[in-house]
A and B are shown apart, each in its own frame.
Chain A
Amino acid sequence: MAISPDLKAELLATIPNLRAFAFSLSSNADLADDLVQETLMKAWNKIDSYEEGTNLKAWLFTILRNTYFSQFRKSRREVQDTDGDYASRLTVQASQQGHLDVQDLLVALRELTDDQREALLLVAAEGFSYEEAAEIADCALGTIKSRVNRARARLAELMQIESVDDFSIDSIGMSVARAGRLP
């Protein structure tokens, strides 16, 4: 169970991904960092079960999402009663760069079910293959595909129906949305 400097470096390099995933999943910056911390501790404690050279990122993501869905989601539900305000406020606090884009992403992601959000983030945002995502989310390949498709369709629908300003869609997205809506 050698914990090589390489492995530590690799863990460190994965932290931004773990944080981005945790944050997008939970819309809560504090909770996201707690989740990453918990993930790193768990990973370290069972580093024996990780085979060096295999997909460390996928292994860590599995630990993180399992932790989130088993332990952390409850606390999120308690604060989920409000409309978009809460997430928006948290996002403004959390995103040091104050990117509106990131806030838009979180608000849009809240329109999805937990399953769909997870699937979309793994595949579309993180770039995991469907196979990897299915393994991480512990579901069938067909299920993950269907979740990603539904998530994409739902967000595409929102972009067209909601006020375009709300999403501050980029120029490409906006022209697409218009093309879909105008005669």
Chain B
Amino acid sequence: MTDEHDQSGGDSRPKAPEMPDAAIDAVGRKVKQSYEKLLKEPIPDRLIELLDQLEQSSPENNPEDKT
């Protein structure tokens, strides 16, 4: 299945001009660089607590549920 033409492509504009490879590489680097800053954001407590809760609710750690 190939959808060469994404309907959602938003191609109301004429075909994009050719980009030099260097510019395209720069985009990749830039995206990665910014994204890595997002990765460094601390994990909110609520998500850590959620994992703890889930762990406690798992049947394995709940002796009463053991069959």
Contacts and interface: CB of A to CB of B under 8 A. Distances in A.
A16 B44 contact: no
Contacts of B1: 139-140
Contacts of A102: 34, 37-38
22 contacts: A15-B47, A16-B41, A19-B38, A19-B41, A36-B47, A37-B46, A40-B50, A40-B51, A96-B41, A96-B42, A97-B40, A101-B34, A105-B38, A115-B6, A121-B35, A124-B32, A143-B2, A143-B3, A152-B24, A155-B30, A156-B27, A179-B22
B23 A140 contact: no
B61 to A, nearest CB: 8
A150 B9 CA distance: 9
Given A3-B55, A12-B51, A20-B38, A173 B9 contact: no
B2 A140 contact: yes
Interface of B: 1-4, 6, 8-10, 16-17, 19-20, 22-24, 26-35, 37-44, 46-48, 50-51, 54-55, 58, 60-61
Contact of A23 (B16, B38, B46): B38
Tell me if B's interface is mostly helix, strand, loop or mixed. helix
Contacts of A169: 26, 30
Given A3-B58, A3-B61, A97-B37, 9 more contacts: A16-B38, A33-B47, A40-B50, A95-B41, A104-B34, A105-B34, A121-B31, A121-B35, A173-B26
Contacts of B32: 124-125, 127
Contacts of B16: 150, 153-154, 157
A147 B47 contact: no
A96 B31 CA distance: 19
Contacts of A177: 23, 26
Interface residues of A, number: 60
Which 5 A-B residue pairings sit nearest by Cβ, starting from the closest?
A105-B34, A125-B35, A20-B38, A156-B23, A101-B34
Contacts of A71: none
Contact of B60 (A3, A95, A113, A172): A3
A176 B23 contact: yes
A116 B16 CA distance: 15
